Chains A and B, each alone.
Chain A
Amino acid sequence: MNEFQKRIGVGETHYGLGRTKPTRQRIVVAEEGLRKGQTGVVYTDHSDGRMDAKVITAPVKAFGKN
């Protein structure tokens, strides 16, 4: 290894700052009800710990078969 390589730290562990994905989404399937077996809730997990929930609904058909 030459002097230049030693100076820049060749072979040593380097820590770099990188941008992580701020959010991720996950889907929970409805276990019962009008949307049984389909997407029930879409959660958004934020890197700061917050969690949003979007409930996916179906229009209810009153006086008829849903």
Chain B
Amino acid sequence: MAFPATGMFVQTWIKSLKASSGFDTPLNLCTNGAFGVYNGCSLYTNSVTTDLTTNVDDIFTAGQFFSNEISGAGYSTTGYLFPSQTFAHTSGGVVSLTSTTNPNWTGSTLSNVQGCVYWCPTLVSTVTTYSGILAYNFGTAVSTVSGTLTIQLASSTIFTIDLIP
């Protein structure tokens, strides 16, 4: 297998939406700076082997994403931290997670970047954890040389949920 097809982390969403979830608090999709940690976007190689149906509570502690996060000049573990995000109804029953800034890494030299994970912090047994929300497959390996890698969000939108399809 390789970096999974673009999709949501199933167990994370089940935990968040169920009354008796594995999280002490809901996903902090719209609360930046919770527990002193912002929501973020991290980068991965194509060596990730998971289909997103089973995932660990913390993608920076164990599992396939932990093992295959990229490294290189201009990139730090956990990746880009969003200064702000908005999770709100936009129109027609569609709820969107948006950001006014695009994830970017300046002065970077990176190679074989196949995709990214959007994550947010939550609490599991009172311990801050980093839960994967969405894995996005770029569709091609990406590289930079002492340059800027930018993930251009379409209409500032990371994902949408159509609650009135």
Contact = CB atoms under 8 A, between A and B. Distances in A.
Main secondary structure on A side of the interface with B = strand
B165 interface: yes
A59 B96 CA distance: 9
Interface string B126-147: 0000000010111110111111
A10 interface: no
A45 B161 CA distance: 37
A57 B142 contact: no
B134 A60 contact: yes
B137 A59 contact: no
Interface size class of A (residues with CB under 8 A): 20 to 34
Interface stretch (B31-39, B57-65, B149-157): B149-157
Interface residues of B, number: 32
Contacts, number: 101
B5 interface: yes
B147 A66 contact: no
Contacts of A36: 139
A62 to B, nearest CB: 5
Contact of A59 (B143, B147, B159): B159
10 contacts: A30-B140, A31-B140, A32-B5, A33-B5, A33-B138, A40-B138, A52-B150, A55-B138, A59-B155, A63-B162
Given A44-B147, A52-B148, A60-B136, 19 more contacts: A29-B140, A32-B139, A33-B5, A34-B137, A40-B140, A46-B147, A50-B146, A51-B146, A53-B144, A57-B151, A57-B154, A59-B157, A59-B159, A60-B7, A60-B158, A61-B162, A62-B161, A64-B162, A64-B165
